[in-house]
Amino acid sequence: MNIQGCSQQSNLTVVPNNRDNYPEQHSPQINSASPIPMTCKNLNYLRSLSTSLRKALLQIAGCNRHWSAIPLQGSDSFAVEAMLCSLLTATDHLLIVENGSYGYRMAEICHIYHIRHSVLHFDPRRGIELNQVALALEQDRSITHIAAAHFEKLHGVKNDIDGLAQLAGVHGCRLMVDAVYTFGALPLNYTAPSLAAVALSSNKCLHAPPGIAFVLVCKSELAQRTPPRTYSLDLKAQHRALEQQGQWRISPCLSMMEGLHQAIERYLQQGGREARYQLYCQRMIHLLKGMAALGFRPCIEPQYCAPLLVTLAARGGQQFDIGQLNECIRQRQLALRVTPGEEPRSFRISVMGEFSLTDIDSLVAAFRDLARVQRVHPQ
């Protein structure tokens, strides 16, 4: 602990083990959503669509009437930034529990906005340790808020947010969560009294196009008087505009809203959160079985894993040539880019998006050909 102030077209996405962003795959039906021009005739439609999306997200989350869903233009970073700079006052003290790039992002945002904060660092290959968080809270009674990511994509680590919420309640703190990677698949207890706000985006587990972010906020937080630090990311001003006029303060992209609406309809028709979670579990089991036969194993312990993304490396740390790996994947037209990352000879594979088990088989076949060439075999 360290505390500081080869021939099939596929849709499967495999990503390098680094901090670069990468595209999430969404349904072809959603891809074909045609742009909708912003005209006076569409204002009523915009109000209706905004209301529908806000209600749908609260329904997916399982929130009660004490919560509000506030949309924003932009990516998941917009949601996290809006959450932090809109809801924390000048006298608040935020403890950021960091074990990867998402926690690091929150610390960077707070630094830029001069928000009082401390950072509690943990091993990025392990989940957060609640006993260490409790010790930090006992040592510094000025801490009013805690922030953490539900899932850290750097190594594919799931954090115990429910346990953190209970800990926050014991110490009288409010909890803010980056659930960008998990919303719509992993459960989160929105009835926890300490939970204040949750940031999410339209893509990832909802399989919608990127471009719209949301923050789910407990209404009691919106009642707090906080001088705005930003114009376009001011959650409280956006909430007032939506509640009083039914409109966004800054005109949104209607085609993106349409895409999200279609994705949510498809998501609910397929069974909602539990069904999507089971789908990801099926894919992850299928992937790990195929890769294990080739001598590849997860880089982190099973208790820290979630069926969203996995970091793999050859058993025994055998070295394989990344250039040859890229060529093998290219021949199969898989969406893949592999570069050295935090762990040498490691790579990440996401099971989110619109693809089939056949696509996973094609991916495993690409690795099998590479293993033959480079003699990376199970021991």
Report which of 332, 362, 359, 363 is spatially closest to residue 347, judged by C-alpha positions: 363
Pairing assessment for the beta strands 117-121 and 346-350 based on DSSP bridges: unpaired
Q: What pLDDT is stored for residue 44 in this prediction? A: 87
User: pLDDT band at 7, cuts 50/70/90?
Assistant: very low
User: pLDDT band at 21, cuts 50/70/90?
Assistant: very low
Phi/psi of residue 276, nearest 5 degrees: -70, -40
Angle at 209 between CA 207 and CA 211, to 5 degrees: 130
DSSP calls for 34-96: PP----GGGHHHHHHHHHHHHHHHHHHHT--TTEEEEEEES-HHHHHHHHHHHH--TT--EEE
Q: What pLDDT is stored for residue 354 in this prediction? A: 82
Q: What pLDDT is stored for residue 337 in this prediction? A: 52
pTM of the shown model: 0.87
Between 321 and 242, name the one with better pLDDT: 242
pLDDT tens readout for residues 119-167: 999 999 999 999 999 999 999 999 999 999 999 988 899 999 999 999 9
Q: What pLDDT is stored for residue 133 in this prediction? A: 97
Q: What pLDDT is stored for residue 215 in this prediction? A: 98
Is 60's pLDDT higher than 80?
A: yes
pLDDT tens readout for residues 270-300: 999 999 999 999 999 999 999 899 888 898 8
| All domains in the chain, ordered by first residue | 6-26+272-374 (3.90.1150.10), 29-269 (3.40.640.10)
| 3-class DSSP state of 323 | helix
CB 186 within 8 A of CB 224: no
CB 298 within 8 A of CB 305: yes
